[in-house]
Amino acid sequence: MVHIIGAEVEKNVYCPLCDEKFKRRRVQYQGHITTAFFCRHCNIGTYEFDPAFNKWRDTDKEIPCANCGTPLKWFIRYMDGFFAAVCPRKGCGFSMRKDSNVDFNEKGEIELEDFDQSAPEVTEIKIPINKLNLNEDQKNMIRKKSKENESKKNKET
């Protein structure tokens, strides 16, 4: 539960999505007094103790927009894995929000899902050579290579 303790504090922190000043309040969160920063326009907020606080300003790599390639303006909150991004280019309109419950390991690092995928099954497609739009020399070359491949398979078995 969060209790608002006092008025605003003196830090000027800007919303990474709209570049307006974050509104801020002194709050009591889980027994600790801290500062909450929020932007009502962009519907985002964070606490000053979040490890990702203000990291969107320190990054040296850009995230390109999926539509136009312009570098995105983005916000991340480490405590719950929330991510938001918008494209600053007028007319593009790209925006993304990802809100998820994440798991942390003993070191405090975010646990990622196992993204290993099994190899896809190989599908063999047989097309009659005479159906291809090739001249006779090209068709003969394919026939020759096909026979060579079949003889190699037979030798291996």
Whole-structure pTM value: 0.53
Q: Are 42 and 17 spatial neighbours (Cβ–Cβ below 8 Å)?
A: yes
Is residue 3 a contact partner of residue 16, using CB atoms and an 8 Å limit?
no
Kindly state whether residue 69 falls inside one of the protein's structural domains: yes
**Containing structural domain, residue 44:** 2-103
Q: Is the pLDDT of residue 11 over 70?
A: no
Q: How confident is the model at residue 95 (pLDDT cuts 50, 70, 90)?
A: confident
Structural domains of the chain, count: 1
pLDDT tens-digit series, residues 58-67: 667 788 888 8
68 belongs to a structural domain: yes
pLDDT at 85 over 80: yes
**What pLDDT score was predicted for residue 137?**
92
Choose between 60 and 40: higher pLDDT: 40
